[in-house]
Amino acid sequence: MNHWDEIIALRDQQRANLREPIIIVKGANRQQENSAMGLLRWYMHPAMQNNALQTMNFYEQELPPGSRSGRLQFQGGQVMFILEGRGHTLVDGVKHPWEAGDVLNLPLRRDGIVVQHINGDPENPAKFVVVEPNLLQTATVDRGAGFDLIEASPDYVKGATS
């Protein structure tokens, strides 16, 4: 392998991916995924190579009535905007209540945080969008603090989509 040639090949692939970059990611074109963290609809993701920007991760998460997300240990550094519903997020076991219109800042910590989101409404879903810098290539998925699913969402069905 010639590493210089690999960099040039990567450059050429990036240029090809961005010949016709996606400027507007249409929500109607994004399928909701049933994941171990819950119901997610990705708009910006490292695997989406044609997006005009690769520097951010952005997704919508839905918590069914009375349900919860998976519980995750990771570095933190996410911002969440609550679109619908009410509930709370546990950050290292501490409860932080939220409702529609709130912004939740998950702290960035060297040793990471443990986080889980809970829908406090037994009759209506909760929805929020999450944005964070895309550090998965530059600092690895672990980002120095680990990235481990501690508990899957109770709504998770492996391989299922909605």
Domain positions in the chain are 3-151
Backbone CA torsion sign across 50, 28, 60, 99: positive
Average of pLDDT values for 59-86?
97
CATH: 1.10.1660.10, 3.40.50.300, 3.40.50.620, 2.60.120.10. Which one for 3-151?
Answer: 2.60.120.10
CA angle 89, 43, 10 (to 5 degrees): 120
Name the 3-class secondary structure at 13. helix
Can you give the pTM of this predicted structure?
0.84
6: which residues sit within 8 A by CB, 6+ positions away? none
Per-residue pLDDT band for 17 (boundaries 50, 70, 90) equals confident
Per-residue pLDDT band for 27 (boundaries 50, 70, 90) equals very high
49 φ, ψ (degrees, to nearest 5): -75, -15
Q: Is the pLDDT of residue 16 over 80?
A: yes
SS (H, E, C) 95-162: EEEEECCCEEECCCCCCCEEEEEEECCCCCCEEEEEEEECCCCCCCCCCCCCCEEEECCCCCCCCCEC
Q: Is the pLDDT of residue 49 over 90?
A: no
pLDDT at res. 162: 64
